[in-house]
Amino acid sequence: MDELFHNRLLWTTVIASLVAQGLKVVLALFTESPAKAFSRVLETGGMPSAHSAAVSALATGVGLTHGWGSPFFALSAVFGYIVIYDATGIRRHAGMHAALLNRLMHELRHLMDEDVVPREALKTLLGHTYPQVLMGIILGIAIGAVSFR
């Protein structure tokens, strides 16, 4: 158990994710009500990408400790690529589909009996735009570099 608490790669990754989630709240405070802004801490989308920050911090830490040519860095870089690709592709498009379905459901409520159409909206903030991912990557690299230099 002691090794777990002293695993700098793990904690650097967790800290990068938590910092990104905290920044989402701070940035949202400028554009949303405090209640809505603080709810961002549990959401998966938004600026900056916590997923991108986490995998970038991990890959940076692995590269600095095990070498940029190590199989460990290769593994963490490929893992990071898959996570980032998922965030900007599949999850982002799922959020776009959810937004469209929410609009359609809203229109259906006006045309049909409201009891027939579900009231609960689908979650739309699922993925990330390229700028959100880029900021997450920059944040993760910076946190990884600070932690391992």
pLDDT tens readout for residues 39-59:
777 777 778 899 999 999 999
User: Counting every residue, how long is the chain?
Assistant: 149
114-127 as b/e: b if 16+ CB within 10 A: eeeeeeeeeebbbb
Contacts with 121 (C-beta within 8 Å, 6 or more apart), sequence order: 102, 105
pLDDT in the model for residue 123: 65
Q: For 8-22, what is the mean pLDDT? A: 95
pLDDT in the model for residue 73: 97
**Helix (H) or strand (E) run with residue 139 in it:** helix 130-148
Q: Which residue has the higher pLDDT, 74 or 34?
A: 74
Q: Which residue has the higher pLDDT, 112 or 139?
A: 139
CA 132 to chain centre: 9
Of 64-73, 120-129, 136-145, where does mean pLDDT reach its minimum? Answer: 120-129
Torsion of CA 89, 95, 97, 101, to 10 degrees: 180
User: How many CB atoms neighbour CB 91 within 10 A?
Assistant: 18
User: How many CB atoms neighbour CB 138 within 10 A?
Assistant: 14
Q: For 129-135, what is the mean pLDDT? A: 89
Tens digits of residue pLDDT in 61-99: 999 999 999 999 999 999 999 988 887 777 666 767 777
